[in-house]
Amino acid sequence: HALAAWLVHRADPGLSHARGFLARVYPRLAAWHRYLLRRRDLGGGGLVSVVHPWEQGMDNSPCWDAPLARIDPAPARSFRRADLDHGAPEDRPTDLDYGRYVRLAVEYRDARYADGHGEFAVEDPSFNALLIASEHALAHIAAELGAGSAARHARAERLTAALVERLWSAESGMFLCRDVSGGELIPERGVSGLIPLLLPTLPGELVTALVRTLTGPHFGLGSTTRLVPSYDLLGEAFDPHRYWRGPAWFNTSWLVERGLRLHGERAPADVLGAALLELAEASGFAEYVDPFTGEACGARGFGWTAALALDLHQRLLDRPG
């Protein structure tokens, strides 16, 4: 949220200042970070845990399969799946998966949203990378408001070190999720493990490894795929159309493009940026697309696809040279 707020401010600093935007949002953003860092370090290693797949957003990623398998699903007749009003059932999570999401949500609600009591807790690389990027953004906001920013940059550095220590897998060439219950890394390559490219002080050798993984056979960017697949092309659970088990999403590709450009990886960033703009328009601003063909999937006229395409288009226009 803090990263988004900072980018909104940067889009029109004059209007932002006139409306007191940063001064209004900063205390709320700081409180959100305090909650995450104080209440969600369920693994004890300094990182934040996700307690529901919906919270992180990649609903039925294969990275969740093992932790979710412990959850007894809610009875199928106890809920109605509104998501099927917007997509083909064969492209959406299964009823079994959805029953587990509902069970987790109900138990979390019934426990009055107390953290640390559920059976599902996962340290996710993208959730933590976005938190770290937002710590840096909070530092920029604090500096803009005349407050101290050094402590926030230092906290972002500590979180980056914890992310590398706990979630980096040299064997996989990327970051992996960690199941807090058992303590083990989950051996599934998801797009979440590429999002830490957003971090400005990620060690150079890790950036090199991530780019190699992104453009290699597991994700195929620039050779077999147009946008970044949501899951390993060689993984057993890969499906080019089923939610988060293979299709390419514009929001995750937008994040990866920003990360590549941040670290001077101009060639893959240019390839990805051009594909994002082309496929956003060609697909009718689809929710997500087939990673190989760019065929539109899910909803059309999707708001975040349009917003991110506009943002990327403007950034490319503003870029020197």
Angle at 141 between CA 140 and CA 144, to 5 degrees: 90
Residue 270 annotated among the catalytic residues of the structure: no
Helices 266-282 and 204-215, interaxial angle, to 10°? 40
pLDDT band (50, 70, 90) for residue 281: very high
- Cβ(177)–Cβ(63) under 8 Å? yes
Is position 194 within any domain? Answer: no
Is position 280 within any domain? Answer: yes
pLDDT computed for residue 244 by the predictor: 95
Is position 158 within any domain? Answer: no
Is position 12 within any domain? Answer: no
Residue 59 annotated among the catalytic residues of the structure: yes
Interval 229-280: pLDDT, tens: 999 999 999 999 998 999 999 999 999 999 999 999 999 999 999 999 999 9
Asked if the model's pLDDT at residue 113 lies above 80, the reply is: yes
Query: How far, in Å, CA of 80 to CA of 121, rounded?
Result: 25
Is position 207 within any domain? Answer: no
Is position 146 within any domain? Answer: no
pLDDT computed for residue 321 by the predictor: 58
Interval 65-108: pLDDT, tens: 999 999 999 998 888 888 777 777 788 888 899 999 999 999 98
- Cβ(57)–Cβ(107) under 8 Å? no
Is position 168 within any domain? Answer: no
Active-site residue, selected from the candidate residues 59, 179, 188, 265: 59
Query: How far, in Å, CA of 22 to CA of 28, rounded?
Result: 10
Interval 156-179: pLDDT, tens: 999 999 999 999 999 999 999 999
pLDDT computed for residue 295 by the predictor: 95
Active-site residue, selected from the candidate residues 97, 265, 287, 290: 287
**Structural domains counted in the chain:** 1
Both tokens of residue 262?
Answer: 């941040």
pLDDT band (50, 70, 90) for residue 116: confident
Residue 313, domain extent: 216-321
Is position 92 within any domain? Answer: no
Assessment of whether the complete model's pTM goes beyond 0.85: yes
Query: How far, in Å, CA of 139 to CA of 74, rounded?
Result: 43
pLDDT computed for residue 41 by the predictor: 96
